[in-house]
Amino acid sequence: EIVLTQSPGTLSLSPGERAALSCRASQPIISKYLGWYQQKPGQAPRLLIYDVSSRATGIPDRFRGSGSGTDFTLTISRLEPEDFAVYYCHQYGTSPWTFGQGTMVEIK
């Protein structure tokens, strides 16, 4: 199975700062099938990005996905108070589909 390793485990930043979250795959991701979810405490995950760089419906353009092969990044250009949460990368190109272990973005 494809193992997704996210870094850092925790990112401590202030509102207005830029966040860069990394996701590295143990083997190349097929057909750009890499996405990102945001999860807040007590809530279900919310889809942010699919197919590496496509924003889901209603997702603001401060969220940007990029990358290829085995290295992917989610960038949040300017953190808003509501962006402090846990973020998971997810590959859905090779069965079994897998998730990264998550990156927590916390208020510094």
Partner 1 sequence: EVQLVQSGAEVKKPGESLKISCKGSAYLFSNYWIGWVRQMPEKGLEWMGIINPVDSDTRYSPSFQGQVTISVDKSINTAYLQWSRLKASDSAMYYCARHGEMLIGDRWGQGTLVTVSS
Q: Would you tell me which residues interact with partner 1 (CB under 8 A)?
A: 1, 33, 35, 37, 39, 44-47, 50-51, 56-57, 88, 90, 92, 95-102
Inter-residue contact 23 to 4 (CB < 8 Å): yes
Instruction: Give the up-direction half-sphere exposure of residue 108: CA atoms within 13 A in the CB hemisphere.
Output: 11
- 49 or 79: whose CB is closer to partner 1? 49
What residue has token string 């997704």? 4
Smallest separation (angstroms) from partner 1 to the CB of 95: 6
Inter-residue contact 78 to 17 (CB < 8 Å): yes
Smallest separation (angstroms) from partner 1 to the CB of 11: 16
Smallest separation (angstroms) from partner 1 to the CB of 43: 8
- 17 or 46: whose CB is closer to partner 1? 46
List of residues 6+ apart from 44 with CB closer than 8 A: none
- 12 or 31: whose CB is closer to partner 1? 31
